[in-house]
Amino acid sequence: MSFRQTVTIITSHRERAGKTLLARLLVDFHQHEDRAVAGFDLDAGERSFARFLPDRVTAAAIDDIQGQMALFDRLVAADDVNKVVDLGHGSFDQFFEVAHRIGFAEEALRRSIAPAVLYVLTPEPAAIGRYRMLRDRFPGLTLTPVHNELFGSLHQRESHPLLQAGTTALRLPVLAPDLRKYVESPPFSFAEANLARATGIPLDAHIGLQNWLRRAYIEFRELDLRVLLADLSSSIRLPS
């Protein structure tokens, strides 16, 4: 990959869409791949991303310019550290307004940093509107819709306009209810070393978690390829 690092913004139109779980998984995936990673919790409501991974996630706020500098200057720092941002719906508009104004995507690309957005789909029409806004306003971002299978394929997969239109979505596999209880108390990391150390997880649950992680990580590898493809496409695009 010609990019030195990635910045992945994980967001959705509303809360309880699964974005924090996705952010936690992505941090652990980077670690699993032996990549340096830092997380930023921009969900002022619960701050669960920071509570789950306190060693690797910093709470952020962009209400004032100092907070914006603390976050965005770090996101575009060419330090070979991958960045994962859990962007709460309450900060969505402000984040992308600032990002647009300061030329975040363009600056990241100029520094060989791949900027990506994982947008967790929810059924509301306004969620589609926001997705299209991101697509139209930020052509430099690799924008990928995320289908959280917890919402059910019947409910969403067949009716969601973006998925019907042939857009390839990243899938967030469902974690079986009997496994969820083991991973929902912060702090908690899906990293192998942590799972191996975790007490109180029966062997079959451990295997179940590993299977689920494997499926999630396959999706992230496809995301890597998508970012690489976007890079290749832009590098071979001939000047008009």
Partner 1 sequence: MAKPAVILVGADKGGVGKTTVARTLLDYFNAHQTPVRAFDTEHPRGTLKRFHPDITDVVDVTAVPDQMKIFDTLGSAQAKVTVIDVRAGLLSTTLRALTDIGFIDSARKGQITFAVFHILGPSITSLEEIAETAAVIGDANYFLVKNFINNTTFFDWDPDTYNSYFNRIKGAEEIIVPHLSEMACEQVEVASTPFVTFVANKTAAGEAANYSFVLRGYVRHWLGNVWGEYDRVKLIDLVAPKKESAVRQQAAG
CB of 65 to partner 1, least distance (A): 5
Per CB under 8 A, contacts with partner 1 among 104-133 are 104, 107
Question: Looking at beta carbons only, is 73 or 80 nearer to partner 1?
Answer: 73
Cα→Cα distances 87→3, 32, 59, Å: 23, 23, 11
Rule CB under 8 A: say whether 174 interacts with partner 1. no
Residue 78 tokens read as 């060419």
* Residues in Cβ contact with 187 at an 8 Å cutoff, skipping those fewer than 6 apart: 51, 52, 53, 54
Q: Which residues pair with 40 in a beta bridge?
A: 58, 85
| Single-letter residue type at 200 | G
User: How many angstroms separate the CA atoms of 207 and 196, rounded?
Assistant: 11
Rule CB under 8 A: say whether 240 interacts with partner 1. no
* Per-residue mark of binding to partner 1, 30-69 (x: CB under 8 A): -----------------------------------xx-xx
Rule CB under 8 A: say whether 78 interacts with partner 1. no
Q: Which range, of 4-12, 17-25, 46-54, 98-106, touches partner 1 by CB under 8 A?
A: 98-106
Rule CB under 8 A: say whether 98 interacts with partner 1. yes
Rule CB under 8 A: say whether 103 interacts with partner 1. yes
Contact 113, 76 (CB under 8 A): yes
Interface with partner 1 (CB under 8 A): 65-66, 68-69, 72-73, 76, 98, 101-104, 107
